[in-house]
């Protein structure tokens, strides 16, 4: 009886953990602010997109690691990228405290809170980026208010 109870409790815990992360960010949905295909050496560099950070879901942290912030369910933006010899840098510039969540082509989640310029802006850098689809969420730290932000994709600059 004890083993059956333990097995049921373990199965319930696994289901709850898996369903929480899946509900929080759905990279299968269409991105809210659009998508682009970029090949190594793209111009203009940096490529910029104006958007609103944040969302109603306070669960970027369910991914784990450095993931923080209020985000939307659907990605904010999608970049299909064909890599070359340069790094890939995805960053955000905003007067608000923003966060960055990226589901990379390798299926891994990458997150940052304050590694970008000006203290409260996030930035992620791949020195040898894989080619493929990068689904990007720009979050707002601390509350679910939408804030003006600029998403930047570059091979040369961190903003």
Distances in Å between the Cα of 25 and the Cα atoms of 19, 39, 60, 70, 77 are 11, 26, 8, 11, 13
**What's the pTM?**
0.82
pLDDT digits (tens, 9 = 90+) for 100-109: 999 999 999 9
pLDDT tens, 84-140? Answer: 999 999 999 999 999 999 999 999 999 999 888 777 899 999 999 999 999 999 999
Domain boundaries, the chain: 2-154
Q: How many C-beta atoms lie closer than 10 Å to residue 132's C-beta?
A: 14
What is the average pLDDT across 150-154? Answer: 98
Mapped onto helix, strand or coil, the DSSP state of residue 66 is: coil
Query: In whole angstroms, what is the distance from residue 32 CA to residue 21 CA?
Result: 19
* Model confidence band, residue 59 (pLDDT cutoffs 50, 70, 90): low
Sign of the dihedral defined by the CA atoms of residues 11, 13, 19, 22, in that order = negative
* pLDDT above 70 coverage of the chain, percent: 80
The region that residue 136 occupies, defined by phi over 0 for left and psi between -120 and 50 for alpha, beta otherwise, is beta
Strand, coil or helix: what is 157? Answer: coil
* Of the options 2.60.120.380, 3.40.50.2300, 3.30.479.30, 2.30.30.40, the CATH number for the domain spanning 2-154: 2.60.120.380
Copy the structure tokens of residue 49: 């997109």
Quick check: 24 pLDDT over 60? no
Q: What local confidence, expressed as pLDDT, does residue 1 receive? A: 44
Q: Kindly state the average pLDDT of the residues 135-150.
A: 94
Of 49 and 67, the structure prediction assigns the larger pLDDT to 49
Q: Would you say 75 and 31 are in contact if contact means Cβ atoms under 8 Å apart? A: yes
- Give the residue among 88, 90, 76, 70 at the shortest CA–CA distance from 146: 70
């Amino acid at each position: 009886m004890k083993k059956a109870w333990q097995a049921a409790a373990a199965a319930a815990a696994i289901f709850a953990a898996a369903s929480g992360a899946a509900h929080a960010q759905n990279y299968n949905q269409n991105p809210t602010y659009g998508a682009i295909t970029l090949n190594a050496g793209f111009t203009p560099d940096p490529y910029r997109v104006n958007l609103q950070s944040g969302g109603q879901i306070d669960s970027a942290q369910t991914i784990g690691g450095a993931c923080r912030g209020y985000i939307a369910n659907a990605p904010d933006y999608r970049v299909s990228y064909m890599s070359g010899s340069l790094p890939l840098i995805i960053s955000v510039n905003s007067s608000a405290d923003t966060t960055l969540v990226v589901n990379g082509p390798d299926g891994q989640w990458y997150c940052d809170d304050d590694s970008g310029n000006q203290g409260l802006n996030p930035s992620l850098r791949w020195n040898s980026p894989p080619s493929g689809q990068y689904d990007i969420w720009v979050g707002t730290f601390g509350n679910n208010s939408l804030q003006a932000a600029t998403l930047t994709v570059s091979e040369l600059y961190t903003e």
